[in-house]
Every structure is written in C-alpha cells, then in structure tokens.
Structure 1
C-alpha cells in the first residue's frame, strides 16, 4: 500500500514539473492532487491584487463555468479571506467560514452547490507584491472537511507545486522579454532572418517577410527557404560559406521594379552560442540581412550587432551614435540621460573593440561599404 502510494506521488510530482513546459497538463496535475488527497476537484489561479483580476485559471474537474463565476464573485467569495495568510500556509475553508454560514452566500449557491462542493483547502503557493498564485483543493459536504492526513499529503507536495509555479512565471517573464525583443526587431526597416545549422528559418521580422514577398521568396519560421531557384541557391551558398569560414558574404538581388535589395549573410557570434546545447538545430547559426541599398546604414548597424552580440537596446544606441555628431545629440534622440548613454556606450565599445565614438562610426561605415560595394 505504502509502495503504491509513493509511486503515485512520484508520478504526480513528475507531472507537475512537466506542466511547466506544457500548460495543457495542469488539468491532469490538479486532478492528481485532488485524487491523492481524497478530494473531488482542484483549481489553481493567478490573481492580480491591484486590478482585482484573475490572469489565469487551471481547472481539475471544475466546471469551466466556474471560471466565470469565480471572476464574477471574486470580491464576495468568502474563501478569498485566505489571501491574508503568508505563502505556503494551508488554510481550511471551515476555519474561514462555517458551512452553515457559507450556505447562505450567493457564492455557495452559484459556484459550489452546482458542483456538489462544500469544503476546501486553500494555499497561496506564490506571493509577489501585487500578484499571487493560489491553489484550491475542494470536496463535497459528504466527504467532510480535510483531515490531518490529507493536509500532510498536500503539504509534502507544496514545495514541488511552488517551484513549478515559480518556473512557470519565470518562463512567462522570459517570453514577455523575448516578445519585446521581437517587437523591436519588427520595427526595423532592415529585414532580419536567422537560420539554424540546417539552413531552416528560425525567425524572420516583418521587413524580411515583406522583402521576401518582393522577391517571391517564402520566408516562414520553422521551414526551409523556398522560391526562385537562383535566389534560393544563392542564399544557401552564402549561408554555407558563412558557417564554414566564419566570414560574411554579400550579393545583390533584383526586384521586379528594378530596385535592388542588398543581401548580407554573417555567422552568429556571441558567448551564449559557444556552449553545448541539447537542441543544436534550434540554435541560430547565421543571420541574413535584407535591405534597400538606399538605406544600408541601418543594416550596417544591425550586422555589427549580430557580429558582436549587441542587445536590441545596444543596437538602438549604436545606430543613434552613428546618426549624431556627439553624445548629447544621441541622448536626446534616444530620450535617455547622458549617464545612461555612457553606460550603454561603454559596453558597446568593449564588445566591438573600439575606443570611442569616431571608431564606432568608422566601423559601421566600413560595413556599409561591404554591403554596397559600389560605395
């Protein structure tokens, strides 16, 4: 019996961590939490305290309509009194409000009674300023309040639930940051495409997709580049050479309107890619820049950023520095203080290996000449 319980518990712990990467597994994990504590259902929600708003719900055998009812009744839900307790503290609903009194509330009539639920155990799993993640495990009136044995089982699982929730929130923060980076890249007029070692497209900003359409190229993340053989083969040759030799290559591509697009392919540089990876095909190996040759200054800055691992913010600073005569003008262009600008430029100069503004401008001018050999 004990061995069988431990196997169930270990499987549930694994499922909880699996749900960090696959959110669709949270329902099964919550059902497992309900089962192992001899309960009927469980739910987990994120709640923004300042806005009094639920940001997510995960339901384990909870009627989906309950989600809407919880949102409707979050102010008058008497179980919300558990929010005043510190993270990790297990609170029984019967200690917050007795069942006879609970039955006189609209919350019971509209949320609990239709699901045959009457008792709950609530715990704030994560508590941040202005935001918390709470777990509710619920059971019927017939099953009665939670006993100490069930509370002990839940208590033994809480560290895993908490770590999984912290990882989930951290991944959400990373995704938000990554989306901000993609939005910044989409704002550039330079087309940017990253390729993995197998020459599959990993990312293409909006300008790259637009330039691709002008050239009848199909540029889709997760797919091979496709289109006119002459153009596709030329891009592939540049990619292969960049990865093999570690140097950039360029060529001109003609559009139907007669105007030319400059293509530059360079290997990706940066310490983040020097370490071994279990997912090599997902690592960027080369970056291609597509730019109208009448606007190759921005492309030169982007290429410099790719070569030396500049962040998006540092790329914006480097571009502003090349378009201004002094630091004061660049700071005004960027809307930042001169001290903030100095902090950025110090890191930029160190990464690129230049000693000042003039050398940075010269470096970008040199790249611009490579992008357009006619200069």
Structure 2
C-alpha cells in the first residue's frame, strides 16, 4: 500500500497536465494501468439507463474487441448496472459482483476479457450528468490475483480528481467552441479587424484583414509580424497613436489613410492590470478596424484584370455587385440575361478563389489597389 499511495501524487500531476487534451488520455491510462499492475485500462462515457457507449479511451485493449464491446457486447456486461447504481466514486471489484466460476462461464469473459488476457476488474463511476456516467476501470490476469482493498482505496483517491479533470476538459471544449464561433463571426465581417500588442505586433486577424494586409491595401502591411504603414507620415502617426492607447491617454484613435475616406480605427482591447496575478501578465492590446465608409463604386479595371484576369464584361458586373446589387439586378442594368450574369459571377469567383458572392465582394473591395484612386 505504501508504494501504491506514494505513486498517486505524481500520477495526479500527469492527470491535470493532460486533462484538457483528449488525445492524452490513453497515455495517462498507460501509467494508470501500470500503477495497478496490469496492462489494460479504460475510461468510458456511457448511458446510465441504456447499454450505450458514447465515448471511450482505452489502453491495452485490442481495437476489434473494444469495437465489439461498444457496438453490442456492452449490453451483456455484468458490471455495468452495479457501477451505475453504486455511490459515486466508490470502487467496485469484480469478485463482489460475480463469482469466478460464473464469470468464467459468461459470454462477457469469453468475448471481451479472455482475448485480452484478463479476468479480474476494478472500477468506479466518478461522474454522472444529464443521464450519462463516466467510469474508469482496470483489468488484470487471473494469475495476478483479485484487486485488494488497498487498491480499491487507491482508486477511490482518484475519483474526485478525475471528476475535476473532466470538468476542466468540458470547460476547455466550451472555450474552444466559443473561440471558433467568434472566429467564424469575424471572418464574415466585410471589413478587416485584427489585434496587436503595444508594439503593433499582430496577434490575430480575420480573413478580410489577412487579405488587405497581404495585398497592402491602403498602404498597410506587415513587416515581420508588425503592423506597418508604408507612408512615412502615417507610420509616425501610427506609432504615436499606439503609444497614446497603451499609456491610457486615449481610448480610441483614428488614422485617415487616403482621400477615399478609408481609415484605421484603433481602440484599447484590454487595459494593463497591475494587481496580483498568477502566470503570464496580460499586456494591454490594441484592436484595429480597417474601414472604408466611402466605398467608391468604380473599381480599378486595370488592376482587376492583372490580378484576377477579369474580362471587361466581368468587370462591369463586378462594379455593380460591390454596390450591393444581386446578380439579377446587375444583369438587368447591364441588359444581359440572368443566365449570362450567373455564368460571369461563377467565372469571377473561380478566378478569385472563392465560392460565395459575399467573399468575392470582400476581395474586390479589400485587395491590392482594386479601388480606383485619384492617381489613375
């Protein structure tokens, strides 16, 4: 028991270190199995009432046997009901559920345990929520003997920690989903938005910003990973604005980029925090919006032809689409059939590498010098 208990803390550290990475659970199970002198272990998410396995992580199990168990054999598992009805966190040994003689004759032993070289099992259900339960189990050969009371106690030490680890995993999963939803929403915006740190190093950006900065739209781009304005006067102004925001001398600043009315709006994304904190400090950041409220209706035909090989007919259609007209309205104004308009639209999207009209409009408006300027 002394050796078993002394090994628990380091394994708990491993559990929490990898709790938020589902791919790491099998590695934890390998160490967990060795702690109990066996080669196989499982963590399963099952239905509390019906013989359904929603998810499982295993180590030491033959894949085909595990798949057989999940798709049907779980219904004949003699341990399933006891685990689901025992007090949460209580360790249950197989010999307390079924005798060795009866188990040896059971279909579960012959189809699941025996092919993996196992006979005895020890498990506990450590989480129940929304009609589902999670349990962990270890299994070993008959020659190694049944699991002892000391081993049951050791397993019970893990139960609350496994519950917290699953809570962390759910929290991280929810956070990742929220981030993905936010990224999707940002990518649907028709204007560029990105965040920098106090030294104007870009930390993230939406798709429109990527296109605009890569194409140097309105004289903006990246030098390394740092936001850069190629006009020297604007570059100095940008550095001054950034300093004002980081030093909390201003909350929002605007930098006019050209005579079309395009501008860069910069605002504080978070304020510096000098209070007590653990881990990396959150440095103040700057949220940037690239806006063109004027949105000139005339696109630069020469540049569109050079970049996307648009034909004159496609250019005329593009010029109307960026005004907000749909392809039917634009076709009517151009006195072409709707079929011809749709064919030209598909051709433009193929040339621009997009599959939606909204994405094409964004590329037309936020791409290298596609907007006609006063310099021709």
Alignment check: 8 A CA contact 1:267 1:287 kept = yes
Alignment check: 8 A CA contact 1:197 1:281 kept = no
Q: Post-superposition shift, 1:116?
A: 0.9
Partner of 2:252: 248
Q: Please give the per-residue CA displacement for 1:85-110, whole angstroms capped at 9, x wherever unaligned.
A: 34212222344444555555665444
Alignment of 1:196-215 (within 5 A): 196-215=197-216
Larger mean CA deviation between 5-14 and 99-108 belongs to 99-108
Alignment check: 8 A CA contact 2:262 2:294 kept = no
Q: Post-superposition shift, 1:8?
A: 2.1
Alignment check: 8 A CA contact 2:194 2:202 kept = yes
Partner of 1:239: 242
> Aligned partners of 2:51 and 2:194: how far apart in 1?
41
Q: Post-superposition shift, 1:283?
A: 5.1
> Aligned partners of 1:92 and 1:41: how far apart in 2?
15
Q: Post-superposition shift, 1:49?
A: 5.8
Q: What's the TM-score, normalizing by structure 2?
A: 0.62
Alignment check: 8 A CA contact 2:267 2:287 kept = yes
Q: Post-superposition shift, 1:124?
A: 1.2
Partner of 1:356: none
Q: Post-superposition shift, 1:128?
A: 0.8
Alignment check: 8 A CA contact 2:228 2:235 kept = no
Partner of 1:286: 286
Q: Please give the per-residue CA displacement for 1:5-55, whole angstroms capped at 9, x wherever unaligned.
A: 554222122222212245454334323322233333222133466997655
Give unmatched runs, 5+ long, in structure 2.
Answer: 296-376
Q: Post-superposition shift, 1:293?
A: 1.9
Alignment check: 8 A CA contact 1:15 1:25 kept = no
Partner of 1:16: 15
Relative to structure 1, the CA distance from residue 111 to residue 75 in structure 2 (aligned partners, 3 Å threshold; closer, same or farther) is closer
Relative to structure 1, the CA distance from residue 57 to residue 204 in structure 2 (aligned partners, 3 Å threshold; closer, same or farther) is farther
Partner of 1:185: 186
> Aligned partners of 2:279 and 2:199: how far apart in 1?
12
> Aligned partners of 1:55 and 1:283: how far apart in 2?
42
Alignment check: 8 A CA contact 1:37 1:153 kept = no
Give unmatched runs, 5+ long, in structure 1.
Answer: 296-375
Q: Post-superposition shift, 1:182?
A: 3.5
> Of Structure 1 and Structure 2, which has the larger fraction of its residues in helix?
1
RMSD (CA atoms): 3.9
Alignment of 1:1-375 (within 5 A): 2=2, 5-47=4-46, 54-65=53-64, 67-73=66-72, 75-78=74-77, 79-81=79-81, 82-103=83-104, 107-215=108-216, 224-225=225-226, 229-230=230-231, 233=235, 238-244=241-247, 245-253=249-257, 261-269=262-270, 275-280=275-280, 285-294=285-294
Q: Please give the per-residue CA displacement for 1:307-344, whole angstroms capped at 9, x wherever unaligned.
A: xxxxxxxxxxxxxxxxxxxxxxxxxxxxxxxxxxxxxx
Alignment check: 8 A CA contact 1:40 1:140 kept = no
Alignment check: 8 A CA contact 2:263 2:292 kept = yes
> Aligned partners of 2:68 and 2:198: how far apart in 1?
50
Q: Please give the per-residue CA displacement for 1:204-261, whole angstroms capped at 9, x wherever unaligned.
A: 2333334334436778xxx82467755995766643442133332222446xxx9664
Instruction: Give the count of matched residue pairs.
Output: 288
Q: What's the TM-score, normalizing by structure 1?
A: 0.62
